[in-house]
Amino acid sequence: MKLLRFGPKGQEKPGILDARGVVRDLSGVIDDLTPEQLSPAGLARLRALDLTALPEVAAPGRLGTPFTGLRQFIGVGLNYSDHAAEANLPIPGEPILFAKWNQCFSGPNDPIVMPKDSRKTDWEVELGVVIGTRARYVPLEDALRHVAGYCVVNDVSEREFQMERGGTWDKGKGCDTFGPVGPWLVSADEIPDPQNLGLWLDVNGKRFQTGNTAHMIFGVAFLIHYMSQVMTLNPGDLIATGTPPGVGMGCKPPVFLREGDVVRLGIDGLGEQQQSVHAWRADLLD
């Protein structure tokens, strides 16, 4: 299943993409796509629906985040060996974890609004993993059973805030609009191997990132297993699993986003995003 939400900010309706690529309105069946709907039972109910009986949405307009009720937005740093090399940092012996503040959670095509005084706003295409079943001290072999689905994430990052202002990565990771997610949440049954997905990202039509999740240092199953040893993962938690090489700070000389830039990115089977980049404007955040 490809689950989504459509409509203006704060007024999104739940939807599902049918086999013809047509959006069907789920609002007559559920109020919204919440963590409860992402549970195995909730997904089973949606999977059993006759989509042809649901209203077609001829012009869905804006796509919102593919689910609501985000609980934790957890990032993984330096999870591709070639990205660690371009950052001139050692390959980690254990996963590097950081938080993206929940207010960064935004729709796949919503604008990226750079914070005031930003000089080094960067891009990162990443595989997103959405938890559907509580995970606490999960054995490695059971880890993927806790996944509701997968999605595209742009882990937008302000590198000066991240690297040069006290060493706390979170500062540069969770600014408003720094977490575009979607266009869809693709249920786990449609992605039998999350370690074989191509990723790409363009800025102004130029390809900067090309990679494959096969090159992760720590795979999805291990990340869930590992995280469940140090925190409880709950339905509605989102994990951004790291990025392949080609980020702006790794270019020689470095390249960072500027007002008017257009970022496009995608992952095999999970759809595409496109964002325009803006200087800080409060009206674009509401």
Give pLDDT, residue 130: 98
> What letter does residue 156 receive in the DSSP assignment?
-
As given in the structure block, the two tokens for residue 15 are: 């939807």
The 10 Å CB-count burial string (b at 16+, else e) for 186-217 is bbbeebeebeebebbbbbeeeebbebbbebbb
β 206-212/179-180 pair status: unpaired
Res 169: pLDDT: 87
pLDDT given for residue 202 in this prediction: 98
First to last CA, the chain: 30
Residue-level pLDDT at 167: 74
Amino acid 221: pLDDT:
98
**Tokens representing residue 67 in the block:** 């689910």
- For residue 149, what are its two tokens? 């689905």
Which pLDDT value is given to residue 88? 78
Helix %, strand %, coil % of the chain (to 5): 20, 30, 50
Domains of the chain with bracketed CATH: 2-53 (no CATH), 73-284 (3.90.850.10)
pTM above 0.75, yes or no: yes
Cα separation, 244 vs 215, in Å, equals 8
In order along its 286 residues, the chain shows pLDDT tens digits of 999 999 999 999 999 999 999 999 999 999 999 999 999 999 999 999 999 999 999 999 999 999 999 999 999 999 998 888 887 778 899 999 999 999 999 999 999 999 999 999 999 999 999 999 999 999 999 999 999 999 999 999 999 999 888 877 899 999 999 999 999 999 999 999 999 999 999 999 999 999 999 999 999 999 999 999 999 999 999 999 999 999 999 999 999 999 999 999 999 999 999 999 999 999 998 7
Alpha-carbon torsion, ordered 155, 156, 160, 165, to 10 deg: -60
Q: What is the pLDDT of residue 168?
A: 79
CA distance 164 to 246: 21
Closest CA to 247 of 215, 200, 214, 180: 200
Handedness of CA 176, 250, 205, 190 (dihedral sign): negative
Which of 38, 29, 33 lies closest to 6 in space, CA to CA?
33
